[in-house]
Structure 1
Amino acid sequence: MSRPAKKHPREVHDGPKLTGAELEARLTATWARPKGVIGWLATVDHKEIGRRYIVTALAFLAAAGLLALHMRLQLMLPDNDLMTPGEFNEAFTMHGTTMMFLFAVPVMQGVQIYLTPIMVGTRAIAFPRLTAFSYYMYLFGGLFLWAAHFLHFGPDNGWFNYVPLSGPQYGIGKRSDAWAQTITFTEIAGLAVAVTLVATILKQRAPGMTLARMPIFVWATLVTSLMVIFSMPSVALVSGLLLSDRLVGTQFFNPAEHGDPLLYQHLFWFFGHPEVYIIFLPATGFVSEIVSTFSRRSIFGYPIVVLSLVATGILAFGLWVHHMFATGLPRVGYSFYTAASMSVSIPTGLQIFCWIATIWEGRPRLQVPMLYVIAFIITFVIGGLSGVMIAAVPLDLQVHDTYFIVAHFHYVLIGGSVFPLLGAITYWYPKFTGRLMSERLGKISFWTIFLGFQLAFFPMHIAGLMGMPRRVYTYPAGMGLELPNMLSTIGSGVVAIAVLLFVINMAVSFWNGLRAGPDPWDAPSLEWATASPPPWYNFAHIPVVDSRTPLWDAGDSLPVVHGLRVDDRELLLTTVVSAAPDLREPSATPSIWPFVSAVAVAVSFIGSVFSPWALVFGVVPVGIALTAWFWPKTPEPSAEPMIT
């Protein structure tokens, strides 16, 4: 389908006439956050919060990447003594915990927070103060974990922190407590974000944006947010039970007192495997949007892609036991989890075929975002094939806890999420900043990271098949492991250089990049119908949608809704299925109390690591902060004109 000339919303008023400049000035006065430090802390603007999530997650990525480089230097040569066993244990634990809990999920949620409201055509995210609270909880949890690392009580039992090593009998000191409480911070933040995104998608879509017209990325956000709501309580529960065992003497995981250490693994992996898809599905949403834009046609097989997202979200909850094939579970259950683990590849395969068909039938442009999509497809297919292999119990028992597994999940997680993320940052960078990233430097960094990644992680398959175990800090010479480890270390250095080039491109482009208009890519979805970067209020008028590609199909103009106040923060709520106008709802104003509440909760949580009484006495400041947060305020009537 060829793309028609794009038009932007027209301003038509049935009532009191407001000029464009006057309207924008009034909306800015209504929606802008207060100035100064207090205003910065009190912001509830989803775009600011989303940017903070993204930047903070990228900072944690850099910290975890430095630890990975340190570990690779240790393993570059046999019998190396660059790190002690204890230092290596803490390094891989901090690396894994940071990547899974402080980077992968939060960075995806940060992009979702920024983009979802403008993609569905609304002025603000649902429950904006809760969204602000979630960021501060995430930030304080991450800072606590890394403070523990620098103060020499960082966790050292792996990112999964299995009992009994993490239990009170063997986990001496506060290392496991720091890990468990960090999990509590991040899960509260993740759950809060998921609730706000689900409410935004279901009730704040632009009129006419039925469920069958939502962008694929919005569908991916909805599915992953529901997965977060159903899976994250499991890991929050298991971290709480572990803290209870360690701090107040319960025996949930102590077999000597009729506890069960396998209960820990079941609860952890009931979250842990859906988490892989919580990271992966937003990436597929990125891919669908990029493929559609750069192929110049709507996504092929839209219903198939949507149903594949839903199917993946459902099947993801039936796979967790394949992480436990070596624990001696009943053999009759293995066949079920083997079948489920293999079947989850079917909906992903359908999506890949739809993307290829879209490219085949379109007019593709191989710009940097599209290159990352192609790299994602190649790399994820390799990781998916090894995933199908280890779904078979006999092979899994042979390669379990070897570097074959390390190679597999890095192909799936980096190839399946980081490559699309880098493409998405490049694609939406004009929307974030108003400037385009350098195409030339972008291609250099792309080829560097793609080739460096293959060099770093493909040899790990070979090392694993040769018997190299995971989580060993060294290995003896003469086992044939020297070459694979040397290649992996060199590749890791190349990846680090590539990431540095990408960051340099972002920084240079922020100041000197070509200025972008509202839609430099000629894309079809609503986020490109507003300025780049968007104003505080996102849209002067809420757009009306009558197709899946509204900016390509709008004709002479994109119809808009009139009737929302300009003197007060007001949102248009629509019905869940058909997105028909339903209610006018006020949106929360900036407030310092979400920040104060997060500080009070953080002090209580961190104090509980050293004494459980901190939770008891912490109820008082937390209660005061929450009371101030939710204290009802009577709105003052205003004679300001309204758009009708």
Structure 2
Amino acid sequence: MTEPQPNPPQSALRLHRELSEVWGRPSGLRGVLISVNHSELGLRFMIAAFLFFAIAGCLAMLIRAQLATPGGAFLDTALYNQFFTMHGSLMMFMFAVPLLEGLGMYLLPKLLGSRDLAFPRLSAFGWWCYFFGGLILLSALAAGVAPDGGWFMYTPLSSKTYSPGINADVWLLGITFVEISAVAAAVEITVTVLRLRAPGMKLTQMPLFAWYMLGTSAMMLVGFPPLILASILLELERAFGWPFFDVTRGGDPLLWQHLFWLFGHPEVYIIFLPAAGAISTILPVMARTKILGYGAIVSAILGLVFLSFGLWVHHMFTTGIPHMALAFFSAASALVAVPTAVQIFAWIGTLWKGRPEMKLPMLHLMGFFSTFVMGGLTGVMLAIVPFNWQAHDTAFVTAHLHYVLIGGFVFPMMAAAVYWMPLFTGRSALRGPGVMAFWMILIGFHGTFFLMHLTGLMGMARRISSYPDNPEWIWLNLSSSFFSFIMAAGFALFALDLLLQWLFGPRARRNPWGAGTLEWAMPLPAPDYNIASLPLPGQSALEIARGEGLLPGAPRGRREVLVVEALSGAPRHVAILPGNSALPILSASVIGGFVLLMLGGLYAVAASALVVVTAVLWQWQRWMGSARSEDLIAAAPGLFLPVHHEVPDSLARSGLVCLLIANASLFGCFLFSLGFLSVIAPNWPAPPSELAKASGLIPAAILVISLLLAALLARMKEAAGALMALPALLAALAAAGALATVLDDPGAHARNALRAAAVGYIALHCVISALLAALCVLQRRDGRIARGRTGAAPIWRIWQDYTTVTALVLIATVALQEGFL
């Protein structure tokens, strides 16, 4: 490969035209369907999230209308159960998480000095999964078959016996469909923050918002798989009778609670951290100073990420767990207040050091301080076991939850919407409506939920559609309902204010707030490509616009981004990103068809639809590598870098590592399920038949030997190992099938169901490994794997190693339980 000459300088207008042609999308409906631009997708996520917030808010108003008077006849019990279930589900899964995804997708490349996210098609795929999953949930609500078991879906009430319709299936399949989007966003954000920063930007120099989003994405990778596993297990129980949670056949309903809250409590901090990132970005600008305690805040973020996974049992203090566990989780629940307090005091110190200006974003931040701190204090109260026993499942807990979520997420997100609106639209706000909306929301919120603390302390239970004619409850509930409608009117006025700004607001000048972060170094609204050249340390916005940074323009007619070393930010190579594509919407549509077939009970047809899913996803691989060797790219004068298919440490490899972290979390939760049921669940063990024990030894041994052989062959260079490993992988798959046939009936006992699920997990990974090995063979034939070009070989090797390790662990675990080891 030769070293080319750097591109000659160009005018800013020529750079803009050149970049717009490459990074833009076709006009019309076709452009909307195939776009993979991160700015457009981020805005779609945020707009859709606010629409779901409005729908969930309307459901909340119906709930408050029902509870305004004792014995309310506004809603019948069945409809009330659907409404409060959908209210919680939409707020948690369709509003909070997608809103933070959208904000991260839109802002991170701009803050980090990049042109796009690491995997544009993955972002688009996540959007369409979110969109179609939301349509399924809303269609069920309109048809009167919405979920009705609470947004936590506790078993056994959500089992087939007590919820015989498809209501619970809508939740299990629809929410899992949406969670694909969350995991995709977590992979996207993690790799983008670590690998697509401006050259020379070390981790310790990143904007705090990037640190917050990195912590959030790490928590999503580990926190969402437990709920995905729980949903899969419960759907298997409902559809095929595998008794994971049926106490009469060796299951235990408490397993659902453990898996759900392994997700549910980190979810609170998954929601809070991006909001805190917005605060740490906006607050110094409003205070006209720099943030106080950068290092302390980063340490607090890492502390929250770690501690949040040790708190899930405090939702289960009343289930009869041992006193030692009560003490441990109570202490952990109180300890998590420490890193939160570090951030609060850093923000207060920043205000004290600076000269705060009470502009509209700052008003919303003041609403955050006055609300979230109260929610944190009641959280510490609920962490104390004796108080928790008294307040559990009362309106006090509902009030605490809303103080934390609305105070800790909604108020900061409203501040973020107002602050970054000029970046989204290029227009400034109108005077008046925004301030009035803020005061209506603040007064309405505290009037609604502060009083609910009192009704909870007086013993009023949550999740009830009517209550006795207790005099001490009547006026509190009526007042809460009255203030809730004031709050709803405030939110409506807030939305109207943003709409008026978008339609009629005056043109905003560049960097209207006087901020010092990179997203304001570009025109308003931001163009498709973000910046004309990637910024070098110390460059001004004008120099960046003139193309004096790295990778100016698009001289090769393709989407190029700079990939850096994760810690130091040193440039490593240039990644060529795929352009607009119909594959994301096609893939999401096929998966959506699978979900609908499952809801319709057409399980055999749904199984065949998985073949179509595999065929569609196979088409994604065409972008992995090039059939010809490329010259080094002149990223800047004197800096020549290879392209991504010439190096082993590509973005795809980093993305696979992140995906395997999520996979390992699911696998660990499955091992937890094996251990929990075998030790805790009643009606256990159910001894397997001697025939099953003996007949399973041979296929298990073949499976182990085949996987070890495939892992050994994967160490060979280029694609030769893949070609030789294919027979071993097919033998492993056949052995997994033979092992499944000798298992006892999975519907007879939870032991058998867990064994069958373990075999299915191994078989699925063997199929994917075989497909990746076949891909390596094809890439070798096409020239995409050759001297200096790795193609998909590193990805297959990592996946094969993971498959081998997890299969060995599962087989060893089962062998220990059966007494073979």
Q: TM-score, normalised by structure 1?
A: 0.94
State the alpha-carbon separation in 2 of the partners of residues 145 and 28 from structure 1: 37
Bigger relative contact order, structure 1 or 2, given CA contacts below 8 A and separation 6+?
Answer: 1
Please state whether the residue corresponding to 2:234 is helix, strand or coil.
helix
State the alpha-carbon separation in 1 of the partners of residues 574 and 567 from structure 2: 18
Q: Name the aligned partner's letter for residue 573 of structure 1.
A: V
State the alpha-carbon separation in 2 of the partners of residues 545 and 108 from structure 1: 28
Q: Deviations over 1:304-351 (max 9, x none)?
A: 011101100110000000000011111110010000000101011010
The answer to whether the aligner puts 1:28 opposite 2:20 as a matched pair is: yes
Contact 1:49 1:114 in 2 (8 A): yes
- What residue is the counterpart of 1:625 in the other structure? 616
Contact 1:407 1:457 in 2 (8 A): yes
The answer to whether the aligner puts 1:476 opposite 2:468 as a matched pair is: yes
Contact 1:118 1:527 in 2 (8 A): yes
Q: How does 1:77-476 map to 2 (within 5 A)?
A: 77-476=69-468
CA RMSD of the aligned region, Å?
Answer: 2.1
Consecutive unaligned residues of structure 1, counting only runs of 5 or more, are 1-12
- What residue is the counterpart of 1:8 in the other structure? none
Contact 1:523 1:551 in 2 (8 A): no
Q: Name the aligned partner's letter for residue 623 of structure 1.
A: T
Q: Name the aligned partner's letter for residue 124 of structure 1.
A: D
Please report how far the alpha carbon of residue 551 of structure 1 lies from its aligned counterpart in structure 2 after TM superposition. Answer: 7.1
State the alpha-carbon separation in 1 of the partners of residues 609 and 95 from structure 2: 28
Contact 1:565 1:642 in 2 (8 A): no
State the alpha-carbon separation in 2 of the partners of residues 427 and 635 from structure 1: 46
State the alpha-carbon separation in 1 of the partners of residues 223 and 544 from structure 2: 43
Please report how far the alpha carbon of residue 170 of structure 1 lies from its aligned counterpart in structure 2 after TM superposition. Answer: 1.1
Contact 1:601 1:622 in 2 (8 A): yes
Please state whether the residue corresponding to 1:364 is helix, strand or coil.
coil
State the alpha-carbon separation in 1 of the partners of residues 605 and 442 from structure 2: 48
Q: Name the aligned partner's letter for residue 324 of structure 1.
A: M
Structure 1 residues 205, 643: closer, same or farther in 2, change over 3 A?
A: closer
Please report how far the alpha carbon of residue 298 of structure 1 lies from its aligned counterpart in structure 2 after TM superposition. Answer: 1.3
Please state whether the residue corresponding to 1:55 is helix, strand or coil.
helix
State the alpha-carbon separation in 1 of the partners of residues 372 and 546 from structure 2: 40
Q: Name the aligned partner's letter for residue 526 of structure 2.
A: P
- What residue is the counterpart of 1:574 in the other structure? 564
Please report how far the alpha carbon of residue 400 of structure 1 lies from its aligned counterpart in structure 2 after TM superposition. Answer: 0.4
Identical positions, percent: 42
- What residue is the counterpart of 2:751 in the other structure? none
Please report how far the alpha carbon of residue 634 of structure 1 lies from its aligned counterpart in structure 2 after TM superposition. Answer: 5.4
State the alpha-carbon separation in 2 of the partners of residues 114 and 573 from structure 1: 19
State the alpha-carbon separation in 2 of the partners of residues 150 and 101 from structure 1: 18
Q: Name the aligned partner's letter for residue 588 of structure 2.
A: A
Structure 1 residues 584, 401: closer, same or farther in 2, change over 3 A?
A: same
- What residue is the counterpart of 1:5 in the other structure? none
Q: Name the aligned partner's letter for residue 354 of structure 2.
A: G
Please state whether the residue corresponding to 1:586 is helix, strand or coil.
strand
Please state whether the residue corresponding to 1:481 is helix, strand or coil.
helix
Higher Cα Rg, which structure: 2
State the alpha-carbon separation in 2 of the partners of residues 99 and 495 from structure 1: 16
Equivalent residue in structure 1 for 2:584, among 584, 594, 604: 594
Please state whether the residue corresponding to 1:417 is helix, strand or coil.
helix
State the alpha-carbon separation in 1 of the partners of residues 605 and 335 from structure 2: 47
Please report how far the alpha carbon of residue 35 of structure 1 lies from its aligned counterpart in structure 2 after TM superposition. Answer: 2.2
Please report how far the alpha carbon of residue 515 of structure 1 lies from its aligned counterpart in structure 2 after TM superposition. Answer: 1.2
Structure 1 residues 555, 471: closer, same or farther in 2, change over 3 A?
A: closer
- What residue is the counterpart of 1:9 in the other structure? none
Contact 1:434 1:516 in 2 (8 A): yes
Consecutive unaligned residues of structure 2, counting only runs of 5 or more, are 637-821
Q: Deviations over 1:601-628 (max 9, x none)?
A: 0010121122222431112321232123
State the alpha-carbon separation in 2 of the partners of residues 557 and 434 from structure 1: 21
State the alpha-carbon separation in 2 of the partners of residues 196 and 584 from structure 1: 17
Please report how far the alpha carbon of residue 439 of structure 1 lies from its aligned counterpart in structure 2 after TM superposition. Answer: 3.9
State the alpha-carbon separation in 2 of the partners of residues 528 and 558 from structure 1: 17
The answer to whether the aligner puts 1:525 opposite 2:514 as a matched pair is: no
State the alpha-carbon separation in 2 of the partners of residues 48 and 104 from structure 1: 19
Q: Name the aligned partner's letter for residue 593 of structure 1.
A: L
Contact 1:382 1:411 in 2 (8 A): yes
Equivalent residue in structure 1 for 2:492, among 500, 503, 506: 500
Contact 1:436 1:516 in 2 (8 A): yes
Contact 1:525 1:551 in 2 (8 A): no
The answer to whether the aligner puts 1:69 opposite 2:61 as a matched pair is: yes
Contact 1:53 1:106 in 2 (8 A): yes
Q: Name the aligned partner's letter for residue 279 of structure 1.
A: I
- What residue is the counterpart of 1:6 in the other structure? none
Please state whether the residue corresponding to 1:122 is helix, strand or coil.
coil
Please state whether the residue corresponding to 2:572 is helix, strand or coil.
strand
Please report how far the alpha carbon of residue 82 of structure 1 lies from its aligned counterpart in structure 2 after TM superposition. Answer: 0.8
Structure 1 residues 558, 65: closer, same or farther in 2, change over 3 A?
A: same
Q: Name the aligned partner's letter for residue 256 of structure 1.
A: T
State the alpha-carbon separation in 2 of the partners of residues 459 and 508 from structure 1: 34
Structure 1 residues 556, 178: closer, same or farther in 2, change over 3 A?
A: closer
Contact 1:298 1:358 in 2 (8 A): yes
The answer to whether the aligner puts 1:609 opposite 2:599 as a matched pair is: yes
State the alpha-carbon separation in 2 of the partners of residues 545 and 297 from structure 1: 21
State the alpha-carbon separation in 2 of the partners of residues 466 and 384 from structure 1: 21
Q: Deviations over 1:181-233 (max 9, x none)?
A: 11211211100011011110000000121111111111100000000001111
State the alpha-carbon separation in 2 of the partners of residues 260 and 588 from structure 1: 47
Q: Deviations over 1:558-594 (max 9, x none)?
A: 9732467432111111111111111111011110011
Q: Name the aligned partner's letter for residue 274 of structure 1.
A: P
Please report how far the alpha carbon of residue 638 of structure 1 lies from its aligned counterpart in structure 2 after TM superposition. Answer: 12
State the alpha-carbon separation in 1 of the partners of residues 606 and 431 from structure 2: 52
Structure 1 residues 221, 447: closer, same or farther in 2, change over 3 A?
A: same
Could you tell which deviates more after superposition, 612-621 or 223-232? Answer: 612-621
Please state whether the residue corresponding to 2:472 is helix, strand or coil.
coil
Contact 2:53 2:95 in 1 (8 A): yes
Q: Name the aligned partner's letter for residue 448 of structure 2.
A: A
Please state whether the residue corresponding to 2:316 is helix, strand or coil.
helix
Please state whether the residue corresponding to 1:497 is helix, strand or coil.
helix
Q: TM-score, normalised by structure 2?
A: 0.74
Structure 1 residues 555, 297: closer, same or farther in 2, change over 3 A?
A: farther
Contact 1:526 1:551 in 2 (8 A): no
- What residue is the counterpart of 2:550 in the other structure? 561
Q: Deviations over 1:503-534 (max 9, x none)?
A: 11111111111211221101011101111111
Please state whether the residue corresponding to 1:582 is helix, strand or coil.
strand
State the alpha-carbon separation in 1 of the partners of residues 554 and 635 from structure 2: 6
Structure 1 residues 331, 551: closer, same or farther in 2, change over 3 A?
A: farther
- What residue is the counterpart of 1:4 in the other structure? none
Contact 2:533 2:545 in 1 (8 A): no
Contact 1:44 1:589 in 2 (8 A): yes
Q: How many residues align?
A: 627
